[in-house]
Amino acid sequence: MSMHTKTIKELSTLLQNKEISATELATHFLDRIEKSELNAFLHVDRALTLAQAAEADARIAAGTATPLTGVPIAHKDIFVTQGWRSTAGSKMLANYVSPFDATVVQKFNAAGMVTLGKLNCDEFAMGSANENSAFGPVKNPWDHAAVPGGSSGGSAAAVAARLAPGVTGTDTGGSIRQPAAFCGITGIKPTYGRVSRFGMIAFASSLDQGGPMAQTAEDCALLLNAMAGFDERDSTSLTPEQGGVEEDFGRDLNQPLAGLRIGVPKEYFGEGLAADVEAAVRAALAKYVELGATLVDISLPNTALSIPAYYMIAPAEASSNLSRFDGVRFGHRADGYKDLQDMYKKTRAEGFGPEVQRRIMVGTYVLCHGYYDAYYLKAQRIRRLIAQDFEAVLSGPNAVCDVIMGPVAPTVAWDLGSKSDPVANYLADIYTLSTSLAGLPGMSIPCGFGQGDKNGKRPVGLQIIGNYFAEAKLLNVAHQFQQATEWHKQAPSGI
Ligand code: GLN
């Protein structure tokens, strides 16, 4: 049976036409997950999943189904779920079961989607390779020696290995786009504030944004329709007045690309970009020209500063957000301790992994009295300059382009265990961080393969960045490419 290779769109039709049942579909995916050796799933509960599937079948029979009813989905383990454990990839929350569902989970449940389980990720979403999970790394389905990217590595691997037709991810500095690129799937990080952060375990609140990942842009539009919208329980959720309106993100999917101006930033094609990635991205740009678009050379001069700025702002916010994990209210508590201070220290030393501890230290340092102006405030100023770089080319009557395109990452997926230096991981985020700092929407779509320094076949992603609220446009720009190419249809061997 090849139900697992179908897109959400196709599965939706089969379900509505009663050619398959939600229960059959859920069982088929659960069986695949059980056999998988990728370590993509952290928590699976057959009974919970099948209960949701039975509800979906009843809804389809009663004629009250939505297009997503009965379609399976899995959630990054950063979204809290009633029933399934919610660990954020951390020992700190190893046994944590949330008493409520994240807004995003609630919305998918309300649409009738069937949850397959929770997906592995870097601890508290800090990482670029999914090697920082307390529950072990995830393997890249294309090449088991390679990382799947991070921090939503379990999410991307699950879609690539066809263990789920769609998943959720979160992107703070690239964690939807980069693993999507490394695993050859499609993912979109929406405009900051579009998707509720309520029940999304916080890393860096001013950057964190949830989004969908799937095989196609069309599927991402379907998922984003259910996922986005104002939420009064998230204080940074965009209100309707601010533009956080419910919309059909698939409404533009059939717009032709004639006249589309694509900005090509010179900073995204400089030193450090691997030849195999550059070749695939340039070929994709040429395809867009064939489809009627024009290429415009642009400059985003502050791109290089995104790394130092992000790696101060994100840890600063993380150090504050993670102070709640103190052994008193949540999760892990050390066994033997002398007094309260000792309990805090031992609990946090045992519960947090090395990368999380490193970020708490950096974050606390840059927020210290005496260093605040020199580091944190300066980083915030750079953040403003980075946003202005984008504004200059994308906004207003002087805009020179409608979207921006370039690589998602400088290389294809690297080998598991090969990049142990944290700074080497940080540098690989060069093309994704500035979009996050500016709060802009960005996508990754598969556009070819490279080899890295090996003989394996490792996917390359094309990044598409747009102005605030331009998700529908981005999804169409991606969809048109996917109508004209086959990259998104490729699957790892043996699928
Ligand atoms: N790689 C970046 C980091 O480690 C981004 C992570 C993310 O987007 N969650 O912080």
Label residue 131 by pLDDT band (50, 70, 90).
very high
Residue 106 lies in a domain: yes
Cα(252) to centroid(ligand 1), Å: 30
Residue 9 designated active-site: no
Q: Is the dihedral of CA 113, 172, 162, 219 positive or negative?
A: positive
Q: Rounded to whole angstroms, what are the CA distances from 82 to 79, 117, 167, 257, 266?
A: 10, 11, 17, 43, 46
- At 171, give phi and psi (nearest 5°): -130, 115
Reported as a single tens digit per residue, the pLDDT across 469-483 is 999 999 999 999 999
Residue 315's pLDDT is: 98
Q: Tell me, yes or no, if the pTM score tops 0.75.
A: yes
CATH number at 23 reads: 3.90.1300.10
Task: Give mean pLDDT, residues 80-97.
Answer: 97
Q: Are 310 and 206 in contact (CB under 8 A)?
A: no
Label residue 375 by pLDDT band (50, 70, 90).
very high
Residue 234's pLDDT is: 97
pLDDT beyond 80 at 351: yes
Among 76, 90, 122, 444, name the best residue to mutate to test ligand 1's pocket (greatest count of ligand atoms within 8 A of Cβ): 122
Residue 425 lies in a domain: no
Residue 426's pLDDT is: 96
- In angstroms, the CA 349 to CA 344 distance is 8
Q: 25 lies in which domain range?
A: 3-258+474-489
Residue 333 lies in a domain: no
> What is the atom index within ligand 1 of the atom nearest the CA of 314?
10
Helix axes 378-394, 306-321, angle to 10 degrees: 120
Label residue 452 by pLDDT band (50, 70, 90).
low
Cα(300) to centroid(ligand 1), Å: 21
Reported as a single tens digit per residue, the pLDDT across 18-53 is 999 999 999 999 999 999 999 999 999 999 999 999
Residue 451's pLDDT is: 79
Of all protein residues, whose CA lies closest to atom 5 belonging to ligand 1? 173
Cα(144) to centroid(ligand 1), Å: 22
Label residue 329 by pLDDT band (50, 70, 90).
confident
Burial of 208 (0-12, 13-18, 19+ CB in 10 A): buried
Reference 89, options 34, 136, 39, 46; nearest CA is 136
Residue 378 designated active-site: no
Residue 449 lies in a domain: no
pLDDT beyond 90 at 453: no
151 Cβ inside 6 Å of ligand 1: yes
Reported as a single tens digit per residue, the pLDDT across 258-296 is 999 999 999 999 999 999 999 999 999 999 999 999 999
pLDDT beyond 90 at 418: yes
Residue 455's pLDDT is: 62
Residue 429's pLDDT is: 97
Cα(170) to centroid(ligand 1), Å: 9
Query: Which residue is associated with the tokens 């779509």?
Result: 445
- For residue 370, give both structure tokens: 């005496």
Reported as a single tens digit per residue, the pLDDT across 135-152 is 999 999 999 999 999 999
Of all protein residues, whose CA lies closest to atom 10 belonging to ligand 1? 126
> What is the atom index within ligand 1 of the atom nearest the CA of 125?
9
Reference 297, options 266, 258, 257, 260; nearest CA is 266
Residue 370 lies in a domain: no
Residue 291 lies in a domain: no
Is the N-terminal amide bond of 98 cis, ω within 30° of 0? no
Residue 304 lies in a domain: no
Residue 298 lies in a domain: no
Q: Which of 6, 9, 76, 91 is catalytic?
A: 76
Side by side, the strands of the sheet bearing 458-466 are 41-43, 114-119, 72-76, 166-171, 209-214, 186-189, 442-450, 458-466, 403-407, 261-265, 294-298
- Considering only residues 171 and 397, tell me which one the structure prediction assigns the higher pLDDT: 171
Q: Tally the domains of the chain.
A: 1
Residues forming beta bridges with residue 458, ordered by sequence position: 450
Label residue 191 by pLDDT band (50, 70, 90).
very high
pLDDT beyond 60 at 1: no
Reported as a single tens digit per residue, the pLDDT across 222-235 is 999 999 999 999 99
Label residue 330 by pLDDT band (50, 70, 90).
confident
Residue type, 453: D
Q: Is the dihedral of CA 437, 246, 167, 487 positive or negative?
A: negative
